[in-house]
Amino acid sequence: MHGHPAPTALISGAAAGIGAAFAKALAADGYRLILVDRNREGLQAVAARLGGEIETITADLATEADIARVEARCREGVDLLVNNAGFGHPTEFLHTSIEAEIAMSKLHMEAVLRFTIAALPGMIERGRGGVINTGSVLGFFPSSTYSASKAWVINFSQSAAVKARPHGVTVTVLCPGFTRTEFHDTAGMNMTGIPGFLWLDADTLAAAALRDWRKGKAVSIPGWQNKTITALSRLLPMRLILRIHSGGGKRSLREATRP
Ligand SMILES: NC(=O)c1ccc[n+]([C@@H]2O[C@H](COP(=O)([O-])OP(=O)(O)OC[C@H]3O[C@@H](n4cnc5c(N)ncnc54)[C@H](OP(=O)(O)O)[C@@H]3O)[C@@H](O)[C@H]2O)c1
C-alpha cells in the first residue's frame, strides 16, 4: 500500500434507485463503500455488480435498534455520509396508519439527524469529507407529511452546512424531482401522466449531486426542470400553491379525506 487509504462512503437506501447510483459513482471514484438498506438481496446484488471489497449492513432505519447500529458505524468514522433511504405513502396522511407515519419520520428525520450528528465531528476534526442528504423538490411545497419531512431535511442540511463549512466539510442537500427508480412503484403511485421531459435518470442525478457536493454547494437541484419547479415555490403566491395541491380548490379537505 502507498499513499492515503481510500476514503469511505456510507450510503443508505443503496439497494436500489438513487442510492445504488451513488454507490456506482463512488465506487468508480475509488471510495470504499459501506452500503446500508433493509433489502438484503438488493444490497448483495449491488455489491456483487460493483465487485471489490464492499461492506453491507442490512438495517431497517425506521427501527431504534438498527438506527443505533448504523449510528455507531457513522461514529467510527466515514468520509462521506449519504443519507438517502426514503419512501412515499400510497395514501393521504389522514388515511395512513400512524405507525407508517412514524416509520417515515424515523427514516426521513431521526435517522438523518442521528447519522449526521454521529459522523460530522470526526469530519470536522479531520477537516475534510461531508454529508449528502436526499431531500426532494417537494420539500419546497406544502403537500403532505412526505413533503413536510423533506422540508425538514432541506432546512436541517442547510443549518449543518453553515456549521461545517468553516472546517472544510461540505453538507449538501440533494433535491431530486421525478427520477426513474423503484420509488413510485413501491408507493403504489401511477406516474403515467407525468411527461417524459420531467424525468431524470438516477445516474445523471447522482453524478450532478456529487459535482455540486465537490463544489461545496449547500443545495443541489439537478436538471433545469427541477430548478424551474423549485423557483416556482418562491415566485407563486402560497395561496395558489395550496390550491394546486388540494386538487385545484375543487375538493374540500373533508372530501379529500373521504375513504
Ligand atoms: N424517485 C423520485 O422521483 C424521488 C424524488 C424526490 C426524492 N426522492 C428521494 O430519493 C431517495 C431515494 O429514493 P429512490 O427514488 O431511489 O427510491 P427506491 O428506488 O425505492 O430506493 C429506496 C431504497 O431505500 C430502501 N428503504 C426504504 N425504507 C427503508 C428503511 N426503513 N430502512 C432501510 N432502507 C429503506 C428501499 O428498500 P425497499 O425496496 O425494501 O423499500 C430501497 O432499497 C428517497 O429519500 C426519496 O424520498 C426520490
CA of 57 to the centre of ligand 1 (A): 16
Asked whether the predicted pLDDT for residue 229 surpasses 90, the reply is: yes
**Among the atoms of ligand 1, which is closest to the Cα of residue 20?**
16
Nearest by Cα to 27 from 215, 170, 210, 221: 210
Taking the CA of residue 49 as centre, how many other CA atoms within 13 Å lie in the half-sphere pointing to its CB? 16
Work out the mean pLDDT of the chain and round it to a whole number. 93
Amino acid letter for position 212: D
Q: What was the pLDDT predicted at 87?
A: 98
Confidence of residue 3 (pLDDT cuts 50, 70, 90): low
Q: pLDDT tens digit string along 67-104?
A: 999 999 999 999 999 999 999 999 999 999 999 999 99
The radius of gyration of the chain's CA atoms, rounded to the nearest angstrom, is: 18
More confident call, 239 vs 129? 129
Percent of the chain with pLDDT over 90: 87
> 20-61, pLDDT tens digit by residue?
999 999 999 999 999 999 999 999 999 999 999 999 999 999
- Collapse the DSSP code of 33 into the 3-class scheme (helix H, G, I; strand E, B; otherwise coil) and give the result: strand
Cα–ligand 1 centroid distance for 52 (angstroms)? 24
In whole angstroms, give the CA distance from residue 138 to residue 49: 32
The pLDDT value given to residue 1: 44
**pLDDT per residue as tens digits for the range 140-187:** 999 899 999 999 999 999 999 999 999 999 999 999 999 999 999 999
Per-residue pLDDT at 215 exceeds 70: yes
pLDDT at 245 over 80: no
Ligand 1 pocket: which residues have CB below 6 Å? 13, 15-19, 37-39, 42, 59-62, 84-87, 107, 134, 136, 176, 178-179, 181-183, 186
Residue 247 reports pLDDT greater than 80: no
**How far is the centre of ligand 1, averaged over its atoms, from the C-alpha of 82 (Å)?**
12
Cα dist from 45 to 87, 131, 201, whole Å: 20, 25, 20
What average pLDDT score do residues 100-119 get? 98
- Choice from 61, 181, 220 to test ligand 1 binding pocket (greatest atom count within 8 A of CB): 181
The predicted-structure confidence for 12-22, as pLDDT tens digits, reads as follows: 999 999 999 99
Among residues of the chain, what percentage have pLDDT more than 70? 94
DSSP label at residue 166:
G
Where does the pLDDT of residue 231 fall: very low under 50, low under 70, confident under 90, or very high at 90 and above?
very high
Superfamily of domain 8-256: NAD(P)-binding Rossmann-like Domain (3.40.50.720)
- Which is higher by pLDDT, 211 or 239? 211
Write out the E strands in 16-101: 32-37, 55-58, 80-83
pLDDT at 250: 42
The pLDDT value recorded for residue 241 is: 85
Query: Which three three-digit cell numbers place residue 65?
Result: 435498534
pLDDT mean over 242-251? 65
